[in-house]
Amino acid sequence: MLKLLRQGGARMRRQGLSPDDITETLRRYAAGQSLATIGRHFNVSAETVRTTLRKHGVTPRDPHGRER
């Protein structure tokens, strides 16, 4: 279906993170990058990054440094 839409010239939304992107997202987050920085790198929202982290068992850091 996506192929047909592309061939017809339809503008497509980003389809989320690929498995390789997810691996890189987890690595970048563990290295201390913010959700927003990672999202910009992959052209997705910070919320998409947060959701991806949670799906892979990572609890996002508090952006204000508070204990959870």
- Collect contacts of 39-42 with beta carbons under 8 A, ≥24 apart: 42/17
- CB–CB of 24/54 below 8 Å? no
pLDDT tens digits, residue range 11-46? 666 668 999 999 999 999 999 999 999 999 999 999
Model confidence at 64: pLDDT above 90 = no
Give the 3-state secondary structure of residue 62: coil
Q: Please tell me the chain's helix, strand, coil percentages from 3-state DSSP, rounded to the nearest 5.
A: 55, 0, 45
Model confidence at 53: pLDDT above 90 = yes
pTM, whole model, 2 decimals? 0.73
- Report the amino acid identity of residue 34: S
Give percent of the chain with pLDDT exceeding 90: 63
> Which value, in Å, is the radius of gyration of the alpha carbons in the chain?
15
